[in-house]
Amino acid sequence: MDHHDRYLELLSDGDLAALGRFSGHGPGESDIVAWFRRKPERIGAALDDARTAEALFGLDRGVGPRGGAGSGPRPMVEGWDTVTPVLVFAAIIHRGAGDIGDIAHVPERFGSGLVVPVFDGEQLARFASSQANRLFLVELLGSYTKVMSGPQWVRSRGRWRRRRFSEMNPAQLAAMAADIPLEDRAGAYRRLGDLALFLNGVFPDHSVRLTLSSIELERILRSIPDHHRDRHRAVQRLLTDRVDGVGPVLAALGPLWYQLAADLVSLPTMSAQLAHVAERFDQARRFLSFTTDRWLWNQRDKLFPSR
């Protein structure tokens, strides 16, 4: 599917009306929705327009607490309830792609509390210049406004036990993937890759604080086929070095999960995109962190309440 047509599926009529109003693109409000539906290729230009982000967040864009000086973006001027979160995410991803080209270095967190500048703005700008990459990240963020969770019955030691399942728990999600026949795991591997990218890109502080027990680590490793045991050793080295938090483990396995999904998915275009993100996982993570830090750092808990 064309990227512009996909935006038509993701954005509501209210989003399209607001997008035309914010950006100044297209005819009057009464015709703007139909105009965008006739000319979906204009959606990208409207999202790229600086006026869209300014209308959503106010003129004081600032940066987040890890990004240096500035008070940060204000809440949406006309109220968050007038648009869906997808429009917010599309606006910040497109605006972030425009901003990153003018920034030489991006703050990077190492461990707990240490932030250093990494001079890779040019690489991140190349990643963000791809329409497919931008749409991938918009859909990723949109998928975590609501997450799958609820009670699950598990048979253990001959008895059925009721446990709570959440796809935000990497050990539980990996255990579920391990119980699926390998040839049917494309969706589960994709979601594991998504979780690794989301937690490390949007909530890096949380990823540092979240720890894994030995049992949880074993459940995560069971999701990986035996012929990828070399990646097991990579995770063991992280633990041997006493790296705190689940973040480094997910960062090590995220690219592998995406590649496994790419190998199994039947749709060629999706396979190619997943393989692309697998190869550029760190760039995707850092651009996502840059963008959400710059625009959403004081709104993340409202947009992603199920973390």
Angstrom distances, CA of residue 290 to CA of 125, 171, 173, 307: 11, 27, 27, 19
Q: Looking at the structure, tell me whether residues 130 and 232 fall in a common domain.
A: no
Q: Looking at the structure, tell me whether residues 183 and 61 fall in a common domain.
A: no
Q: Tell me, what DSSP letter sits at residue 112?
A: T
From CA 305, how far away is CA 307, in angstroms rounded? 6
Q: Looking at the structure, tell me whether residues 125 and 71 fall in a common domain.
A: yes
Q: What is the pLDDT of residues 194-243, one digit of tens each?
A: 999 999 999 987 777 788 888 888 889 889 998 887 766 777 676 677 66
Decide which of 200 and 104 is more confident.
200
The count of domains in the chain is 2
Which neighbouring-strand residues pair with 107?
117
Q: Looking at the structure, tell me whether residues 210 and 296 fall in a common domain.
A: yes
Q: Which of 143, 159, 194 represents a domain boundary (last residue)?
A: 143
Cβ neighbors of 71 (< 8 A, separation 6 or more) are 60, 62
Q: Looking at the structure, tell me whether residues 43 and 132 fall in a common domain.
A: yes
Is residue 298 a part of any domain in this protein? yes
- For residue 307, the model assigns a pLDDT of 55
From CA 121, how far away is CA 281, in angstroms rounded? 15
Is residue 152 a part of any domain in this protein? no
Q: Looking at the structure, tell me whether residues 182 and 254 fall in a common domain.
A: yes
204: its two tokens = 């890096």
- Domain span including residue 199: 167-303
Is residue 160 a part of any domain in this protein? no
Q: Give the alpha-carbon dihedral of 159, 164, 167, 172, to 10 degrees.
A: -40
Q: What is the pLDDT of residues 283-303, one digit of tens each?
A: 999 999 999 988 887 788 888
Q: Looking at the structure, tell me whether residues 182 and 284 fall in a common domain.
A: yes
- For residue 229, the model assigns a pLDDT of 74
Is residue 154 a part of any domain in this protein? no
CB of 107 within 8 A of CB of 121?
no
Is residue 156 a part of any domain in this protein? no
Is residue 265 a part of any domain in this protein? yes
Q: Tell me, what DSSP letter sits at residue 80?
A: G
Q: Looking at the structure, tell me whether residues 112 and 212 fall in a common domain.
A: no
Q: What is the pLDDT of residues 17-44, one digit of tens each?
A: 999 999 998 887 668 999 999 999 999 9
Q: Write the DSSP assignment of 260-295 as a string of letters.
A: HHHHH-S-HHHHHHHHHHHHTHHHHHHHHHHHHHHH
Is residue 71 a part of any domain in this protein? yes
Is residue 263 a part of any domain in this protein? yes
